[in-house]
Amino acid sequence: MPVTVNGVELRDADIERELDHHHDAANPARLATISAILRQLVRTEADRIGLAAEGLDDDALALALLEREAGIPEPDEASCRRHYDSRPERFRDGEWVEADHILFQVTPRVPLDALREIAAQTLALVRGDPSTFPEHARALSNCPSGANGGRLGRVFRGETAPEFERALFAAQQDGVLPHLLETRYGLHIVRVLERCPGTRLPFDAVRGDIARALASAARDRAWKQYASLLIGRARIEGIELEGADSPLVQ
C-alpha cells in the first residue's frame, strides 16, 4: 500500500534517500519513511507560511521553520551553572581508569543466552581467582587486547563506548566488577586496576560547551514536539504512526 501525505504519494526515491541515516535502527525502512514524510511536511509548511527556502537544503529549512514557528530558548547562565553543579564527575581534566576486560562478542551465529551463560561462568571464575584474568582473556576474549591478557591501559573519558565508559568510571572500587557489562559490542568482564580522579575544570572553561549541549537538547525536544504537530495536522495514509517509534517519542 503506498504512503500518501495530504493526497500526495511518497516516491520510492524519497524513502531510499533517508535509508542512509537509519541503517543502525531496528526498522530502518519505517524510520526512513517517517523521515521522508516529515521532509515533505516541512517543505509544504514552509511554502504555506511564505518562508523563503531559496538556497536552503531540507535540514536547514526544517531548522529555520522550527525557529520561526516554535522558538528555541537559549540556555542562560543559571541553567548552565545548574548543569555544571549537578555533574561534578563530568567536567574533569586528566581523569583516567586503568582496566582490563574480556569481551564476549555478540554474533548472529551464537545464541545470546548461551553466550551470557559462558560469560557469567567466566566472571565467577575470575572473581574467585583474579590472577587467572589474563589467562581467560587470552583464551576467550574477542577483543585484540585479549592477546595481551585483556589490558586496555589507561582509558580517558570519551575514548570508549558511552555505556562502557559510564560503568568504568562509576565503579566504586578496584578489582573485577561484580556484574557483566553489556554494550553494543557484546558482554564484558571488567577489572579496574587503578584510577586517577584528575582535576575539576572551572565553570568558565566549560560554559560554552555546556551552553551548546543544552541548546542542542532544546532543539531536539522542540523538533519532536513540532514534528508531532505537523504530522497530527496532516492526512497520512499507508503507515501507522502511533507507538514507541512515532515522532512523539523519537
- The residue among 135, 143, 223 whose CA lies nearest residue 185 is 143
Summarize pLDDT for 222-249 with one digit per residue, the tens: 888 888 889 988 999 988 876 434 444 3
Domain boundaries, the chain: 4-76+206-237, 93-200
DSSP 174: S
3-state DSSP assignment of residue 181: strand
Mean pLDDT of the chain: 88
% of the chain surpassing 90 pLDDT: 46
CA distance 167 to 218: 27
CA distance 32 to 11: 12
Handedness of CA 133, 135, 136, 142 (dihedral sign): positive
Q: Phi-psi category of 222—alpha, beta or left, where left has phi over 0 and alpha has psi -120 to 50?
A: alpha
CA distance 88 to 81: 11
3-state DSSP assignment of residue 14: helix
| Average pLDDT per block of 10 residues along the chain, 250 residues long | 87 86 79 90 88 78 86 90 91 92 90 93 96 96 96 91 90 91 94 93 95 92 89 89 48
Query: Domain 93-200 belongs to what architecture?
Result: Roll (3.10)
Question: What is the pLDDT, as a whole number, of residue 242?
Answer: 64
Question: What is the pLDDT, as a whole number, of residue 205?
Answer: 95
DSSP 57: -
Question: What is the pLDDT, as a whole number, of residue 187?
Answer: 96
Task: Write b or e for each residue in 171-205: b if 16 or more Cβ atoms lie within 10 A of its Cβ, otherwise e.
Answer: beeeebbeebbbbebbbbbbbbeebeeeebeeeee
How many other C-beta atoms can be found within 10 angstroms of the C-beta atom of residue 9? 12
